[in-house]
């Protein structure tokens, strides 16, 4: 996929996010969001996405408050079913924060690792970002070969790490594939990434290991937002992470690259 050559204005992007349901009235129902918040608060590590939350988020209402503030879900605890939302202005503001992190990475010629647990939705976003930061002089990291995690193989395609099972790219929330990469790098005496751009447990695991991390997260994945609130993640970008057409993310990618100064490199 080529690097996007143009970017929308902030207002045009907000309109696009709402029209495509990347933000605004999203497809994820309220009851699913609240179920995930409750399971995280009850200590279900599947929903911690590689972060160590301890006993700091044992109240579902505290989780909801952070999600209302940082993602834009409805803040009324009595709203139990039906439509929920992502605030598109919060999405764009997070893109601006992510752009600042990418500018720092480029200025420092940092080592950057890209990974996704949502290859059906976000692969093109990640590989466009990888191509752009690589062209700007960053080292886009190559992962060690032969890695296995969660009964699958961890490999790279277009500089993006993913999990493969049975010749199929796998949707996963697990932190184990990222842990396998970082453990193998350390075992081989190779440097760890300075920055990870990812989602799900890939981003959470990196942040928990002390690596700067940018994470994309849906409104039913609260852990990464809590991670940003606590300073474990550098930025968490709220969005529906699997809309009907992956091309709907192209304007978002173009906006992020333009804000980072990476469209003309």
How confident is the model at residue 6, as a pLDDT?
Answer: 76
**Half-sphere exposure (Cβ direction) of 22: Cα atoms closer than 13 Å:** 27
Q: Is residue 221 part of a domain?
A: yes
Q: Is residue 2 part of a domain?
A: no
What are the tens digits of pLDDT across the range 56-79? 999 999 999 999 999 999 999 999
Residues 6+ apart with CB under 8 A from 233: 203, 204, 207, 213, 214, 215, 224, 227
Residue 265 has pLDDT above 60, yes or no: no
Percent of the chain with pLDDT over 70: 97
The structure's pTM equals: 0.96
137 vs 20: CA distance, rounded Å: 33
Is residue 76 within 8 Å of residue 84, measured between CB atoms?
A: no
Percent of the chain with pLDDT over 90: 95
Q: Is residue 3 part of a domain?
A: no
For 184, other C-beta atoms within 10 Å of its C-beta total 16
Q: Return mean pLDDT, the chain.
A: 96
Helix axes of 223-230 and 60-70: crossing angle, nearest 10 degrees: 80
What are the tens digits of pLDDT across the range 114-131? 999 999 999 999 999 999
Containing structural domain, residue 224: 10-259
What are the tens digits of pLDDT across the range 211-257? 999 999 999 999 999 999 999 999 999 999 999 999 999 999 999 99
| Number of separate domains in the chain | 1
Q: Is residue 220 part of a domain?
A: yes
Is residue 61 within 8 Å of residue 41, measured between CB atoms?
A: no
What are the tens digits of pLDDT across the range 179-205? 999 999 999 999 999 999 999 999 999
Q: Is residue 47 part of a domain?
A: yes
The angle formed by the CA atoms of residues 153, 158 and 161, to the nearest 5 degrees, is 35
Residue 1 has pLDDT above 80, yes or no: no
Q: Is residue 219 part of a domain?
A: yes
Q: Is residue 1 part of a domain?
A: no
Complete DSSP assignment for the chain: -PPP-----HHHHHHHHHHHTSSEE-SS-HHHHHHHHHHHHTT-GGGTTT---TTTT--HHHHHHHHHHHT-----TT--SS--EE-HHHHHHHHHHHHHHHHHHHHTT-EEEEE-S-HHHHHHHHHHHHHHHHHTT-EEPPPPSSEEETTEEEEEETTEEEEEETTEE-----SHHHHHHHHHHHHTTPPPPSEEEEEHHHHHHHHHTT-EEEEEE-TT-THHHHHHHHTSSSEEEE--S--S-GGGGHHHHHHHHHHTT-S--
CA distances for 197 relative to 58, 78, 237, angstroms: 28, 35, 11
Residue 264 has pLDDT above 90, yes or no: no
Mean pLDDT of 80-102: 98
Q: Is residue 4 part of a domain?
A: no
């Amino acid at each position: 996929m080529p690097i996007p050559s143009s970017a929308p204005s902030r207002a045009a992007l907000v309109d696009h996010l709402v029209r495509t349901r990347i933000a605004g009235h999203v497809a994820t129902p309220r009851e699913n969001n609240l179920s995930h918040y409750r399971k995280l608060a009850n200590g279900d590590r599947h929903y911690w996405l590689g972060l160590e939350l301890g006993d700091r988020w044992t109240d579902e209402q505290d989780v909801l408050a952070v999600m209302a503030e940082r993602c834009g879900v409805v803040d009324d605890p009595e709203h139990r079913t039906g439509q929920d939302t992502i605030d598109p202005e919060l999405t764009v503001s997070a893109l601006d924060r992510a752009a600042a992190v990418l500018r720092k990475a480029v200025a420092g010629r940092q080592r950057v690792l890209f990974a996704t647990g949502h290859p059906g939705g976000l692969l093109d976003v990640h590989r466009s970002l990888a191509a752009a930061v690589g062209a700007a002089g960053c080292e886009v990291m190559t992962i060690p070969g032969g890695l296995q995690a969660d009964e699958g193989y961890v490999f790279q395609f277009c500089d993006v790490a993913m999990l493969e099972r049975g010749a199929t790219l796998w949707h996963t929330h697990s932190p184990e594939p990222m842990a396998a990469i970082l453990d193998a790098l350390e075992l081989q005496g190779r440097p760890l990434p300075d920055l990870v751009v990812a989602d799900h447990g890939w981003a959470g695991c990196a942040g928990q290991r002390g690596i700067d991390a940018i994470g994309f997260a849906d409104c039913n994945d609260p852990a990464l937002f809590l991670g940003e609130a606590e300073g474990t993640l550098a930025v968490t970008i709220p969005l529906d992470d699997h809309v009907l057409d992956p091309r709907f993310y192209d304007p978002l990618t173009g906006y992020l690259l333009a804000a980072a100064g990476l469209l003309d490199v």
